Amino acid sequence: MQITTLLENAQRHLGDAIVDHVIALNELTLEIQPEKLRETAYILRDEPELAFEQCVDVCGVDYLVYGASEWETFEATSTGFERGVERLNPSKTSTAWPKPRFAVVYHLLSLKYNWRLRLRVFPNQETLMLDSLISVWPSVNWFEREAFDMFGFLFKDHPDLRRIMTDYGFIGHPFRKDFPLSGNVEVRYDAASQRVIYEPVELPPRVLVPKVIRKK
Amino acid sequence: MTEIRNYTLNFGPQHPAAHGVLRLVLELDGEVIQRADPHVGLLHRATEKLAESKPFNQSIGYMDRLDYVSMMCNEHAYVMAIEKMLGITPPIRAQYIRVMFDEITRILNHLLWLGATSLDLGAMSMFLYAFKEREDLMDCYEAVSGARMHATYYRPGGVYRDLPDQMPKYEPSIFCNEKETAKRNANREGSLLDFITNFTDRFPGCVDEYETLLTDNRIWKQRTVDIGVVSPERALALGFTGPMLRASGVAWDLRKKQPYEVYDQLDFDIPIGSNGDCYDRYLVRVQEMRESNKIIQQCVKWLKANPGPVIIDDRKVAPPKRANMKTNMEAMIHHFKLFSEGYCVPEGEAYAAVEHPKGEFGIYLISDGANKPYRLKIRAAGFPHLAALEEMTKGHMLADVVSVLSSQDIVFGEIDR
């Protein structure tokens, strides 16, 4: 099946719910209005010309430092290349990314037509609230829980939106780009109090290989 | 009058039938399951976040550690996603090697599954039979990569190196005399491909043995038939893939439907079940082992006849030959840049999925043009399966939870990531 056919079918049935579309690497990505997400999902599943029976994956994306590089080499001198690694400053928002910071990405699969579709939704950036798609595809249950746990998205009408991957009583959303790789707390067994205790991480964050962007 | 209340039971995380570190909170009415709440994440290592802090090639090793019983299939999805974004295609010989090792991995995975499941259900000897054959496949891994499990063998643009011409051999020791050692080395005299040929000739007989023990076994059938039934429609809605979906009667296999590498040139069938119960999932997996064996035989035949390069000749992605590096300045610089900084992947996003032994294993990769992935999402096959555990076990007896859980082929390395 041609990817352009899919795009035409989607445009015909979804209309103005589609904000933007991209075809790259033979994959179609649609950007959907957050208010119309559930409505769109029902059409994508039930419309015979689209027939996306399965939701394969749901994940969050944080575009905070998109396109920001940690090491910019300006000149070669007699003493060698500039060595200073500028650690990404989370408070500095990315300039290379024109769209909002947080997105939820859905991957859909149609067994009938054997095609895949990617939906990207930018929820309200203040509340990070989206409609849960659990009534459309029950498979999104744990994927939405994971997106909540890792990024803090809230899915309205999700029956059981608990943390899933992180520890009981964990604070923060670890896959956000402003969450340190080594975390904030570490646990150890304390012999004096005879229990496992939490302490602030002592390991300083460091960059082993700086992030470099080279345009050809 | 005493109040009758449901009983809450903790199953795991330290339970031999919990397949690793599953904590399952069960609510029982007598012995009937009312509610099953899997608590996962005890093996969460933030693989996705770690991968985002490293150059692309340094994360291949992390992929092995996801589903640690089907290592190379995980690598495969990851390198496929990178290759897709870089727009490179590995040489045809590398594609055959990958397919061969994918299928070896599938047999590895299914053998472990078969052994562990039957052990869970009380068939101790199956475990030993399954692990005996597994050992030879581990040796294949070791021969190509030097590691028995975490191979890091697939690289963007091909595989790390060509198949070896000789197999490592046992050496005589105080526990094993010369004559006994020679006997153990009998199938190791030739190349790796000869060793694999020997395995594939023998393996269908082994599968027959397993089936003799289990397929018509009365106890086995009592434990698996009509347990955890999932209808095809429900299996699709719940996001099932792989043997779980096929056992429910949906003929869907990415190797056939969205062929990658050279699967479209190979002759094999995809077994499907009809009832969607634990027994059908068992039958599907056993049949898949036979099909994998067929694929391996075809790959071996092709690989014996067609020597050639196994990794692309692009110094920005693949390292130069070591001998070349010692004499050629250019090669030396390429080597240094590749292993220190890595390569930049063009801006964009891609989703690459393989038919993993457990189902669809996908990698969703976003690159902002840097030498590290901007976002890496691992779509683990077992994740939606385990999410459906409650639905599959509700109303069953406590002992059936073990059947259902093990029929899902759960490995926590990939679920918790």
Question: Could A174 and B49 be called an inter-chain contact, meaning their C-beta atoms sit closer than 8 Å?
Answer: yes
Q: How confident is the model at residue B29 (pLDDT cuts 50, 70, 90)?
A: confident
Residues of B in contact with A62 (CB under 8 A): 375
Question: Could B48 and A175 be called an inter-chain contact, meaning their C-beta atoms sit closer than 8 Å?
Answer: yes
- Asked if residue A84 has pLDDT above 70, the reply is no
- Asked if residue B187 has pLDDT above 90, the reply is no
Q: Looking at the complex, report in whole angstroms how far the Cα of residue A55 sits from the nearest Cα belonging to chain B.
A: 6
**How large is the average pLDDT for residues B381-410?**
89
Question: Could A66 and B416 be called an inter-chain contact, meaning their C-beta atoms sit closer than 8 Å?
Answer: no
Nearest to B143 by CA among B161, B168, B162: B168
Give CA–CA dist A195/B360, Å, rounded: 41
Give CA–CA dist B112/B128, Å, rounded: 10
Q: How confident is the model at residue B104 (pLDDT cuts 50, 70, 90)?
A: very high
Residues of B in contact with A175 (CB under 8 A): 46, 48-49
**How large is the average pLDDT for residues A70-93?**
55
Write down the domain spans for chain A.
2-208
Which positions 26-85 of B are in contact with A (Cβ < 8 Å)? 40-41, 44, 46, 48-50, 53-55, 58, 84-85
What single-letter amino acid sits at B236? L
Q: Looking at the complex, report in whole angstroms how far the Cα of residue B39 sits from the nearest Cα belonging to chain A.
A: 7
For B368, nearest residue in chain A (alpha carbons): A67
Residue A153 is predicted with a pLDDT of: 92
Give CA–CA dist A161/A133, Å, rounded: 13
Residue B13 is predicted with a pLDDT of: 79
For B365, nearest residue in chain A (alpha carbons): A61
Task: Give the DSSP letter string of A90-143.
Answer: TTS--SS--S-SEEEEEEEEETTTTEEEEEEE---TTT-EEE--TTT-TTHHHH
For B328, other C-beta atoms within 10 Å of its C-beta total: 14
Question: Could A57 and B377 be called an inter-chain contact, meaning their C-beta atoms sit closer than 8 Å?
Answer: yes
CA dist list (Å): A62 to A36, A101, A179, A182, B176? 21, 6, 11, 18, 58
Residues of B in contact with A116 (CB under 8 A): 351
For A160, nearest residue in chain B (alpha carbons): B37
Any chain A CB within 8 A of the CB of B385? no
Give the closest of A56, A96, A207 to B239, CB-based.
Answer: A56
How many Å separate Cα A197 from the centre of its chain? 32
Query: What is the value of ipTM here, to two decimals?
Result: 0.86
- Asked if residue B124 has pLDDT above 90, the reply is no
Give CA–CA dist B166/B90, Å, rounded: 24
Residue A88 is predicted with a pLDDT of: 56
Find the helix packing angle between A37-46 and A3-14, rounded to 10°: 120
- Asked if residue A81 has pLDDT above 90, the reply is no
List the structure tokens of B87. Answer: 């727009």
Residues of A in contact with B48 (CB under 8 A): 175
Question: Could A96 and B416 be called an inter-chain contact, meaning their C-beta atoms sit closer than 8 Å?
Answer: no
Q: What is the mean pLDDT of chain B?
A: 89
Q: Is the Cα dihedral A196, A198, A202, A207 positive or negative?
A: positive
The torsion angles phi and psi of B323, rounded to 5 degrees, stand at -60, -40
Question: Could B41 and A61 be called an inter-chain contact, meaning their C-beta atoms sit closer than 8 Å?
Answer: no
Residues of B in contact with A3 (CB under 8 A): none
Mention every residue, 6+ apart, whose C-beta is less than 8 A from residue B54.
Answer: A208, A209, B372
pTM over 0.95: no
Residue-wise pLDDT tens digits, A85-106: 555 555 455 567 788 889 999 9
- Asked if residue A76 has pLDDT above 60, the reply is no
- Asked if residue B16 has pLDDT above 90, the reply is no
Any chain A CB within 8 A of the CB of B191? no
List the structure tokens of B68. Answer: 């640690």
- Asked if residue A203 has pLDDT above 60, the reply is yes
A20 strand-pairing partners: A31
Question: Could A166 and B44 be called an inter-chain contact, meaning their C-beta atoms sit closer than 8 Å?
Answer: yes
List the structure tokens of B389. Answer: 């555990």
Residues of B in contact with A118 (CB under 8 A): 349, 351
Among B6-10, B94-98, B168-172, B242-246, the least confident range: B6-10
SS3 B369: coil
Any chain A CB within 8 A of the CB of B390? no
Residue-wise pLDDT tens digits, A132-164: 999 999 999 999 999 999 999 999 889 988 888
Among A5-19, A63-77, B270-284, the least confident range: A63-77
Question: How many residue contacts between A and B have a Cβ separation below 8 Å?
Answer: 121
Residue B102 is predicted with a pLDDT of: 92
- Asked if residue B295 has pLDDT above 90, the reply is yes
Residue A205 is predicted with a pLDDT of: 76
Mention every residue, 6+ apart, whose C-beta is less than 8 A from residue B121.
Answer: B219, B220, B223, B224, B402, B403, B406
Residue-wise pLDDT tens digits, B313-328: 888 888 888 888 889 9
For B359, nearest residue in chain A (alpha carbons): A56
SS3 B316: coil
Residue B107 is predicted with a pLDDT of: 93
Q: How confident is the model at residue B30 (pLDDT cuts 50, 70, 90)?
A: confident
Residue B1 is predicted with a pLDDT of: 64
Please give the share of chain A, as a percent, with pLDDT higher than 90.
Answer: 27
Residue of A71, A212, A215, A216 to mutate, testing the B interface (most B Cβ within 10 Å of its Cβ) = A212
Question: Could B239 and A137 be called an inter-chain contact, meaning their C-beta atoms sit closer than 8 Å?
Answer: yes
For domain A2-208, the CATH superfamily is NADH:ubiquinone oxidoreductase Nqo5 subunit (3.30.460.80)
- Asked if residue B110 has pLDDT above 90, the reply is yes
Residue B217 is predicted with a pLDDT of: 87
Residues of B in contact with A107 (CB under 8 A): 351, 362, 364, 379
- Asked if residue A189 has pLDDT above 70, the reply is yes
Residue A214 is predicted with a pLDDT of: 79
Residue B169 is predicted with a pLDDT of: 87
Q: How confident is the model at residue B8 (pLDDT cuts 50, 70, 90)?
A: confident
Give CA–CA dist B409/B127, Å, rounded: 15
Residue-wise pLDDT tens digits, B56-101: 999 998 999 888 888 999 999 999 999 999 999 999 999 999 999 9
Q: How confident is the model at residue A72 (pLDDT cuts 50, 70, 90)?
A: low
